Amino acid sequence: MDLQFTPEEEAFRTEVQAFLKDKLPPHLSQKIKAGVKLTKAEHEAWHALLHQRGWLATIWPQEHGGPGWDPVRKFIFENECALANAPRIEPFGVVMLGPVLIHFGNAAQKSHWLPRVLHGDDWWCQGYSEPGAGSDLASIKTTAERGMDAQGDHYIVNGQKTWTTLGQHANMIFCLVRTNKEARKQEGISFLLIDMSTPGIEVRPILTIEGGHEVNEVFFTNVRVPAENLVGEENKGWTIAKYLLTHERTGIAGVGFSVALMEKLKVVAQKVLRNGRPLAQDPLFAARMAQVEIDLENMKTTNLRVLAAVAGGGAPGAESSMLKIKGSEIRQALYALIRRAVGPYALPFDVQWIKDLERGEPMGPEEAATSAASYFNFRKLSIYGGSNEVQKNIISKMILGL
């Protein structure tokens, strides 16, 4: 298998680099580099620039408004964006819901919702996890009972979702709901699109360990949802859930983000002095850096192999779980090494700095201001999207037949 990029792919890389140099606002890349949170408006501004170029929905086919890239071009684009410290594309509408609608949605749903995602009319969040149904997603208890009244066919939704990322910004949520209580837990689940302004919905913030407001709880009390917002067949939502999660876990590997973090770590290790010498020359620290870089290079090769298989008509299976496990471990190791590199300057962290509010100059190296916050926040990488322990179970079942 040839894992080298073709001349055409290298030309595409050059095109992406030129676009980022010309169009990426410097203040956005500076905030990403510093580990500072972006506002909703800043995310939307970057989405608008990408949409104008036709590069927002990187995995959508051309007939639905995407660039029609193969997996390799998508890989190149994401890596170059990470290296340039570009904002991450908001995942829930573009990366998750879009492919689901393209694959499972009816013609009316595609024509209505897909353009709204591209134009920024809707900000989506994901209603999957519940208290007691995180890694065991099939145990969801949020119910949707179907009925008919003068206003038409509809569902009444009751229950609770948790860890709803950026739900405070969203006007729409896609939800897994239980529509048949008598069926096996993997059955009797449906996939609904719900307007967050509907009466009966309450969003409560959950503050994360570093002081940020990134996730939320969402409560549903007799929420009326038009039956036309059902995606796919009733009671067949588990198939959609698995489809979405398989592709999400491949992306969670975050190869581009790890490559960018590795470059940042090398810069920090050259700047920070230990006993009068750059930290990069310390044998123990250099060995730790080398081990992570070896793991990263191996993961890049594995990711390219998966992309080559997908380009040949295959679909990611256990490989997506492998990439999720290794990708999260590598990124956590990199954040840990950056925090270790800045030493005692990483002990305090300034929430004002993270939130881009009024703040003073950072103590010690520039990276010290957010190194502890990033380290603590990204402990979540091995949990969300299906915990790494669950991914190991998936691998054992799919490959070893256990």
Quick check: 238 and 189 in contact, CB under 8 A?
A: yes
H/E segment holding residue 157: strand 152-161
Measured distance CA(310)–CA(315) in Å, rounded = 5
What is the average pLDDT across 372-381?
87
Range 138-166 average pLDDT: 93
- Kindly state the average pLDDT of the residues 227-254: 83
CB 228 within 8 A of CB 108: yes
Give the pLDDT score at 3.
63
Q: Which of 59-63, 124-128, 371-375 has the highest mean pLDDT?
A: 124-128
At 98-116, the pLDDT tens digits run 999 999 999 999 999 999 9
pLDDT tens-digit series, residues 336-357: 999 999 888 887 766 666 665 5
Distance CA 185, CA 391 (A): 19
Q: What is the pLDDT of residue 246?
A: 66
End-to-end alpha carbon distance in the chain: 30
376 pLDDT band, cuts 50/70/90, is: confident
What average pLDDT does range 17-33 have in this prediction?
94
Query: Higher confidence at residue 160 or residue 70?
Result: 160
Structural tokens at position 323: 């990439």
The architecture in CATH of the region 7-89 reads Orthogonal Bundle (1.10)
User: Which of the 8 DSSP states describes residue 236?
Assistant: B
The predicted pLDDT at position 64 comes to 95
Per-domain residue ranges for the chain? 7-89, 124-235, 253-399
With a cut of 70, say whether residue 316 has pLDDT above it.
no
Mean pLDDT computed over 19-25 = 97
Give the mean pLDDT of 193-197: 98
**Report for 206-215, 255-264, 315-324: range of highest mean pLDDT:** 255-264
The strand pair at 152-161 and 143-149 is best described as antiparallel
pLDDT surpasses 80 at 285: yes
Residue 334: predicted pLDDT? 96
Rounded mean pLDDT of the chain? 88
When pLDDT is cut at 50, 70 and 90, the band that residue 81 belongs to is very high
Kindly indicate the confidence band of residue 253, based on its pLDDT and cuts at 50, 70 and 90. confident
Confidence of residue 311 (pLDDT cuts 50, 70, 90): low
- Residue 228 Cα distances to 112, 115, 121, 232, angstroms: 12, 18, 19, 10
For residue 249, the number of C-alpha atoms closer than 13 Å in the C-beta half-sphere is 31
Query: Catalytic amino acids?
Result: 248
CATH code, residues 124-235: 2.40.110.10
Find out whether 127 and 227 touch, Cβ atoms under 8 Å. no
Please say if the pLDDT value at position 136 is more than 90.
no
Lowest average pLDDT, out of 38-42, 75-79, 132-136, 171-175, goes to 132-136
CATH topology for 253-399 is Butyryl-CoA Dehydrogenase, subunit A; domain 3 (1.20.140)
Q: Give the pLDDT confidence score for residue 294 in this predicted structure.
A: 97
Question: If we measure between CA atoms, which residue out of 62, 53, 63, 64 comes closest to residue 89?
Answer: 53
Q: Choose the most confident range, by mean pLDDT, from 97-111, 138-152, 231-245, 296-310.
A: 97-111
What is the model's pLDDT at position 177? 97
Mean pLDDT (whole number) for 366-383: 84
Taking residues 192-196, what's their average pLDDT? Answer: 98
Q: For 37-80, what is each residue's pLDDT tens digit?
A: 889 999 999 999 999 999 999 989 999 999 999 888 988 999 99
pLDDT at 229 over 70: yes
Calculate what percentage of the chain has a pLDDT beyond 70: 90
